[in-house]
Amino acid sequence: MAKKLYVGNLAYSTTQEQIQELFAQAGEITEITLITDRDTGRPKGFGFVSMATEEGAQEAIKRFNGYQLDSRALTVNEARPREERSGGGSYGGGDRRRDNNRRDRY
């Protein structure tokens, strides 16, 4: 069964091809996703690599957590399930601008 890994502290210039070449040394890769900003399309400096087997995933963590790529020490560990977000809007349920304006009046 595939195992998803979190890969963090990536340089913004790191490519999917570089990640493919690196992680293929640990085992078969089923998917690579580098996260980009929704509005600008710029890389956010992290991504996910799905390894085909548990053994490949553990080997990748052992080999590449702390590994220097593009002069940056990678963070590689098991990906956690995505947390559910609650509240409305991009301000986590409240409009901070309105709250700040209200504070300024007192």
Q: What is the mean pLDDT of residues 9-20?
A: 97
Q: Is residue 67 part of a domain?
A: yes
pLDDT at 98 (0 to 100) = 52
Domain that holds residue 15: 1-37+51-80
Average pLDDT, the chain: 88
> CA angle at residue 2 from 4 to 6, to 5 degrees?
10
User: What are the pLDDT digits (tens) for 18-65?
Assistant: 999 999 999 999 999 999 999 999 999 999 999 999 999 999 999 999
Q: Is residue 59 part of a domain?
A: yes
Q: Is residue 55 part of a domain?
A: yes
Give 82's pLDDT tier (boundaries 50, 70, 90). Answer: confident
What does the radius of gyration of the chain's CA atoms come to, in whole angstroms?
18
- Any idea what the CATH number is for the domain that residue 11 is in? 3.30.70.330
Q: Is residue 96 part of a domain?
A: no
Domain count within the chain: 1
Classify burial at 23, counting beta carbons within 10 Å of its beta carbon; exposed 0-12, middle 13-18, buried 19 or more: buried
Sign of the Cα torsion 61, 63, 66, 69 reads negative
